[in-house]
Amino acid sequence: MDFLFVPSKNSIFDIPWTLQKMSEHTVDILECNPFDPNISDNNQNDTLSRQLLEKPYDCVISYLFIPPVSDICANQNLPYISWTYDSPLIALFTPSVFHSTNYTFIFDKKQCERLIEAGVPHIYHMPLAVNLERTGALDITPEDETAFSHDISFIGGLYENNTYNAVIQQFPDYLQVKLKLYLMQNMCHWESSRPWPQFPQECIDYLYNNCHIESWNPTSLMDDPTYYGQLFYPRKLAELERIAVLNTLGNHFDVHLYTNSPSTYLENVHVHHGVSYYTDMNKIFYLSKINLNISLSSIETGIPQRVLDIMGCGGFVLTNYQPEIEDLFEIGKEIEVFHNVDELIEKCNYYLTHERERLTIAMNGYKKIRDAFSYPNQLQKMISLMQENTL
């Protein structure tokens, strides 16, 4: 098949890289600035339309669901495969998702179920993948071993730039209490999936009456309480949880954070600048004894890319519990999880002092990724599902 890959904002290029390696497929990369799923750009749309007129393709493919790309493909009756790794991706809740030419793959099973229940066609659950040829091409130097051999590391943002922080002071005190109460009740609880929160109607009414936000909700499939719940809560909750976890572990262990976020509220944590996804990140995953994952609460069931990337490098991952982990991996044999901060401390202490068990889990996790979550494996599943439904 002949594919056209459309680059999207903050995404990688492992899809076209893999398609190029698969002998039965060819792929071109659209030469343009990456598409933002939430913003339509006429110049980018025109570039895509011209490319599709200049050369016939069997399918357009991208990371994330991009409404203008979907619209253009629908107008030309051309299949469009998208693979979403974010939850929620607001673009998935817009009218374009109903085009019959879409083949929409989503890493979070619960988000997938929501769209199926809404009557969206060709929606499929598809866990993410790892480009093992890239992660396996590690050239680790003695300098890398000195720089990146940590007891515990975390690579990621602290989400301090979030809507909650930007807007909270505009609410009167009694409404601020309502919002803070949700955060206090839900912070650092990973025993099960956390359902998408409903933003208090009283707070929505206050925003409408005082902040001129009539156009904030761009979706057709999310009501206001759901949309504003996602806008205000998950990133603030992630900020609080990540700071609390890192500070707590920093009181007991040698903890390193790689981030581009400010570290104002961190204590006893070694903070480093963010690192490249394609080079140093994989070295840190491989050389750290314990790699942490702390998921956004808006990811209800799915497994974030960070978890698979760690395992695909042969690293040991200790992640908050997510329901799909039990479906896809053997906990304690291929991956380790924590449900609360006390359990996290206990498991960090155990695995830092039990090297054989830690390395065995890391090796088993790598084998599972190799056998079940490689890019060729997952892409072929998507292509087959698309072909079955276009015959």
Per-residue confidence (pLDDT) for residue 46, from 0 to 100: 97
**Whole-structure pTM value:** 0.95
Alpha carbon separation from 358 to 44, 300, 301, 349 (Å, rounded): 47, 27, 25, 11
What is the fold, at CATH topology level, of the domain defined by 132-159+236-372? Answer: Rossmann fold (3.40.50)
Pick among 3.40.50.2000, 3.40.50.1100, 3.90.550.10, 3.30.230.70: CATH of 2-129+376-390: 3.40.50.2000
**Mean residue pLDDT across the chain:** 96
pLDDT in tens, 40-66: 999 999 999 999 999 999 999 999 999
Per-residue confidence (pLDDT) for residue 263, from 0 to 100: 86
| Confidence band of 213 (pLDDT split at 50, 70, 90) | low
pLDDT in tens, 325-350: 999 999 999 999 999 999 999 999 99
Q: What is the mean pLDDT of residues 191-220?
A: 88
Segments making up each domain of the chain, as ranges: 2-129+376-390, 132-159+236-372, 163-232
d(CA 73, CA 79): 7
In the chain, the N- to C-terminal Cα span, in Å, equals 14
Element containing residue 335 per DSSP (H, E): none
% of the chain with per-residue pLDDT over 90: 91
Domains 2-129+376-390 and 132-159+236-372 share a fold: yes
For residue 171, pLDDT beyond 90:
yes
Length of the chain: 391
d(CA 14, CA 84): 14
